[in-house]
């Protein structure tokens, strides 16, 4: 903890120390350096109708202050005492009474073309463009976007290495009018520092995103204040306006020199490159030569290729890399990790589940007489289950198992649960009712176990309906002579019995596809991590060895299952043991249930962390539990980043990778669901939920993962989870829906309690 605190403190102090330097201008001017000065000056005149003086084909722009002295008009540098020159009579008329003016100068020599490219470097276009320029031996000037340089450092370095010139096109291709002054300054300064740190390249050249300096006086003046020189273009190819696949016309030449504007970023520029190849050939045929913009520059504005970066430069590049590159790398890694892990685990689970299912179908169970079957105690902990408990008991009463008792434990219910139990017990001697002060589900379960007589304990919830064969098929695993480990518990199959709306239909598919297939696969390799308390059988001796249900977990069944696994017992899956349960029908109840489950499973995983990566626990320790850990840790760390990057990608129209991943996940889930539906003989209508599955799953996963962390940090009180009961569970008629018999069955003699082998 001390080391973590020290690291955080060092980072904060380092940021506080480096940040002022990283945001400081790299070119100091003498006057008017206040951050708000450019906006104040611009506001002193109508920024929409700025006069422009100088030659029409001048390619360098600046803001000049108008200095009127003794009837003469001078053009002055806003950031020093330098007088550029005196205005001509025609310029005086153009200027009128305005306080400042846009001046253009710097005209290329005749028969000289200076190619410039904006918005790169772009991995789709710039390499092909550089190949063309290298083949034609044509130099050019690239006005790069800082974030593109950070994302494509090798391409930027190639631009410099091959002798081209580079200018600043801001960090994010920003709109200066849409941002505050500090943001605009950092768009320029940050890009400058990135270029220095990336390849020791220092440049004072600047081009306004979207151009048009007369309408972007704020950008022009803010850049000028920071020591940058704005370079415009007088021959615009308008290549950005053509859709991919369209033919871009080759510009006509007039014998004069030109700065040519093109783009290597911002979209598909294959058309621009195709046009450029023709343009270069035609220009050369007409006797044109090519140059960077260097002939237009005074020495102070010529870029330096050996600028030594300082700490602030390196820190800026590191910060931008962490912001722009790391998320992309992480998301790309997560994409492929998701694809590979999902594919591997899904198909592995499908194969294992099918093998397990096939073995279960072929397995020949010994014919056992009623006397050979072990006596079973069904433990039923209850809290405020007045609406549903009679139906639950009806289902148990319809069981075809010959020798069992039901121990119902009322945990201080505040409704009429106890009265319903006592009334039911009058007509069914197999039901024993215990009453205790409210202590929680685990305490009620342990009380029932302690007061039960069976060597096998079957557990279920108050809202769960057992099919008639369920107790029998659970118990038979404890009678059969084990070929390996002694069976400690048998996990049954839980199905949703109230498929009333989209939410419960979604849960039904989840129970069938996620839980059934997974548990069948894990059962084959001895790696079941959860035997559901709603439908499971337990060896009494194993329960006593681990001390029964733990009181310090919200997922008592997961905790108990792992505890029994640690003792060396086997946990097996039995799909023929079917229980129908009531799933939450509202979003609020559903979210609350899943938060409890997730938090409880995290508790169990932490409590049994000693099993992780331990070969003595086989596949459970080496695969199942580590994968469960990854399924919590990876979303916890990377889920927000994934959502943000996905949102940004969609905003930029880059939806293809997301669509491919979503389609792959849906197809994989469809295959799993199809296998599961066939295995458990369910309706194929479940497959209709597959396209909607992730739309519910992803927000749910976000909520339960972060909700669990918040709950862990805040602490919690262990108690009953109290979902709203609707008494809506129904078993299909083919499953043997129970009906309460009119005749009372005989009581079970004490002699019918054999020892389990």
Report whether 595 contacts 711 (CB < 8 A).
yes
Query: Do residues 289 and 433 share a domain?
Result: no
Phi-psi category of residue 558: left, alpha or beta, with phi > 0 → left and psi -120 to 50 → alpha: alpha
> Does pLDDT of 175 surpass 50?
yes
Of 57, 43, 148, 32, the C-alpha closest to 107 is 57
Element (H, E) at 481: none
Q: Give dist(CA 27, CA 311) in Å, integer.
A: 17
319 or 152: which carries more pLDDT confidence?
A: 152
Q: Is 435 helix (H, G, I), strand (E, B) or coil?
A: strand
Of 677, 482, 679, the C-alpha closest to 572 is 482
Query: Do residues 628 and 483 share a domain?
Result: yes
Q: Give dist(CA 222, CA 62) in Å, integer.
A: 11
**Helical segments of 398-501, H only:** 417-427, 441-450, 470-479
Q: What is the CATH number of the domain that holds 168?
A: 3.20.20.370
464 or 733: which carries more pLDDT confidence?
A: 464
Query: What values do phi and psi take at 676, rounded to 5?
Result: -65, -45
Q: DSSP class of residue 352?
A: H
Q: Give dist(CA 449, CA 616) in Å, integer.
A: 30
DSSP state letters, 14-54: HHHHHHHHHTS-SS--SS---TTHHHHHHTTS-TTS--EES
Q: Give dist(CA 614, CA 618) in Å, integer.
A: 7
**pTM for the full model?**
0.64
Report the relative pairing of strands 376-382 and 404-411 from DSSP bridges. parallel
Q: Give dist(CA 520, CA 225) in Å, integer.
A: 70
Report whether 384 contacts 414 (CB < 8 A).
yes
Q: Give dist(CA 581, CA 590) in Å, integer.
A: 14
Residue 120 belongs to some domain of the structure: yes
Query: Can you give the residue range of the structural domain that contains 673?
Result: 338-735
> Does pLDDT of 660 surpass 80?
yes
Question: Catalytic amino acids?
Answer: 118, 263
Q: What is the CATH number of the domain that holds 428?
A: 3.90.550.10
Range with the lowest mean pLDDT among 65-74, 318-327, 435-444, 661-670?
Answer: 318-327
Residue 91 belongs to some domain of the structure: no
> Does pLDDT of 644 surpass 90?
no
Query: Do residues 399 and 495 share a domain?
Result: yes
Residue 431 belongs to some domain of the structure: yes
Report the relative pairing of strands 205-206 and 52-53 from DSSP bridges. unpaired
Given this model, what pLDDT does residue 629 score? 87
Q: Give dist(CA 479, CA 472) in Å, integer.
A: 11
CA atoms lying within 13 Å on the CB side of residue 410: 20
Look at the block and give the residue holding tokens 């980043």: 641
pLDDT digits (tens, 9 = 90+) for 515-569: 778 888 998 899 999 999 999 999 999 999 999 999 877 888 999 999 999 999 9
Count structural domains, the chain: 2
Report whether 179 contacts 153 (CB < 8 A).
no
Query: Do residues 305 and 347 share a domain?
Result: no
Report the relative pairing of strands 229-231 and 60-69 from DSSP bridges. antiparallel
Query: Do residues 298 and 402 share a domain?
Result: no
| The 3-state secondary structure of 405-433, one letter per residue | EEEEEEECCCCCHHHHHHHHHHHCCCEEE
The beta-strand segments (E) located in 232-323 are: 235-236, 258-263, 289-290
Residue 625 belongs to some domain of the structure: yes
Of 496, 516, 669, 649, the C-alpha closest to 585 is 496
Of 620, 608, 590, 663, the C-alpha closest to 518 is 620
Summary mean pLDDT of the chain? 87
Query: Do residues 147 and 282 share a domain?
Result: yes
Element (H, E) at 632: helix 625-651
Domain boundary among 309, 330, 351: 309
Q: Give dist(CA 438, CA 416) in Å, integer.
A: 14
pLDDT digits (tens, 9 = 90+) for 700-751: 878 887 887 777 677 654 445 556 677 778 787 666 444 333 333 333 333 3
Query: Do residues 182 and 242 share a domain?
Result: yes
């Amino acid at each position: 903890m001390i080391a973590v605190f020290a690291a955080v403190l060092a980072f904060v102090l380092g940021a506080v120390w480096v940040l002022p330097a990283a945001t400081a201008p790299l070119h100091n001017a003498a006057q008017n350096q206040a951050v708000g000065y450019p906006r104040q000056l611009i506001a002193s005149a109508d920024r929409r109708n700025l006069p422009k003086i100088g030659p029409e084909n001048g390619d360098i722009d600046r803001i000049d202050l108008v200095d009127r002295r003794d009837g003469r008009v001078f053009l002055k540098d806003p950031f020093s005492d330098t007088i550029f020159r005196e205005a001509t009579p025609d310029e005086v008329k153009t200027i009128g009474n305005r306080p400042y003016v846009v001046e253009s100068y710097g005209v290329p020599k005749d028969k000289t073309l200076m190619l410039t490219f904006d918005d790169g470097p772009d991995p789709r276009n710039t390499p092909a463009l550089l190949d063309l320029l290298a083949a034609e031996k044509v130099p050019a000037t690239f006005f790069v976007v800082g974030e593109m340089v950070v994302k494509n450092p090798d391409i930027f370095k190639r631009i410099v290495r091959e002798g081209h010139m580079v200018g600043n096109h801001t960090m994010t291709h920003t709109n200066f009018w849409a941002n505050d002054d500090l943001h605009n300054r950092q768009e320029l300064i940050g890009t400058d520092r990135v270029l220095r740190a990336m390849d020791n390249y220092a440049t004072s050249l600047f081009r306004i995103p979207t151009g048009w300096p007369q309408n972007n006086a704020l950008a022009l003046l803010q850049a000028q204040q920071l020591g940058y020189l704005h370079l415009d273009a007088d021959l615009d190819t308008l290549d950005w306006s053509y859709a991919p696949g369209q033919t871009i016309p080759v510009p006509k030449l007039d014998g004069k020199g030109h700065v040519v504007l093109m783009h290597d970023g911002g979209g598909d520029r294959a058309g621009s490159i195709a046009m450029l190849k023709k343009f270069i050939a035609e220009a050369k045929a007409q006797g044109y030569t090519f140059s960077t913009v260097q002939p237009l520059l005074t020495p102070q504005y010529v870029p330096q290729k050996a600028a030594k970066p300082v700490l602030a430069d390196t820190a800026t590049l590191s910060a931008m890399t962490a912001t722009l590159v790391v998320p992309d790398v992480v998301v790309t890694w997560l994409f492929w990790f998701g694809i590979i892990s999902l594919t591997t685990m899904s198909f592995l689970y499908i194969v294992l589940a099918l093998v397990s299912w096939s073995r279960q179908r072929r397995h020949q169970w010994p014919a056992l007489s009623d006397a050979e079957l072990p006596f079973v105690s069904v433990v039923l902990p209850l809290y405020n289950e007045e609406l549903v408990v009679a139906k639950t008991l009806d289902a148990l009463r319809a069981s075809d198992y010959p020798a069992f008792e039901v121990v119902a434990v009322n945990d201080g219910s505040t409704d009429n649960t106890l009265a319903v139990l006592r009334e039911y017990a009058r007509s069914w001697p197999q039901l024993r009712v215990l009453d205790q002060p409210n202590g929680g589900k685990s305490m009620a379960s342990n009380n029932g176990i302690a007061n039960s007589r069976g060597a096998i304990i079957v557990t279920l919830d108050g809202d769960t309906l057992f099919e008639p064969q369920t107790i029998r098929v659970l118990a038979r695993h404890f009678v059969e002579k084990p070929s390996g480990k002694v069976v400690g518990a048998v996990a049954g199959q839980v199905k949703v019995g109230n498929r009333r709306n989209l939410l419960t239909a979604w849960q039904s598919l989840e129970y069938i596809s996620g839980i059934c297939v997974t548990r069948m696969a894990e059962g084959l390799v001895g790696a079941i991590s959860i035997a559901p308390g709603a439908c499971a059988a337990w060896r009494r001796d194993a329960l006593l060895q681990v001390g029964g249900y733990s009181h310090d977990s919200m997922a008592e069944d997961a905790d108990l299952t792992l505890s029994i696994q640690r003792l060396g017992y086997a946990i097996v899956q039995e799909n023929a043991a079917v229980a129908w349960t009531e799933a939450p029908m509202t979003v609020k109840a559903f979210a609350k249930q899943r938060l409890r489950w997730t938090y409880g499973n995290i508790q169990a995983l932490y409590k049994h962390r000693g099993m992780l990566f331990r070969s003595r626990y086989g596949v459970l320790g080496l695969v199942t539990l580590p994968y469960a850990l990854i399924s919590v840790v990876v979303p916890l760390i990377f889920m927000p980043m994934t959502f943000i990057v996905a949102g940004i990608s969609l905003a930029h129209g880059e939806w293809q990778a997301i669509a491919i991943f979503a389609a792959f996940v849906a197809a994989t889930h469809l295959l799993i669901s199809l296998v599961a539906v066939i295995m458990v003989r369910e309706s194929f209508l479940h497959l209709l939920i597959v396209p909607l599955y992730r739309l519910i799953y992803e927000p749910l996963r976000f909520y339960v993962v972060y909700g669990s962390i918040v709950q862990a940090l805040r602490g919690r009180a262990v108690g009953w989870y109290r979902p709203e009961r609707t008494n809506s569970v129904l078993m299909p008629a083919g499953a043997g829906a129970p009906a309460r018999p009119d005749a009372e069955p005989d009581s079970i003699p004490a002699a019918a309690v054999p020892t389990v082998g």
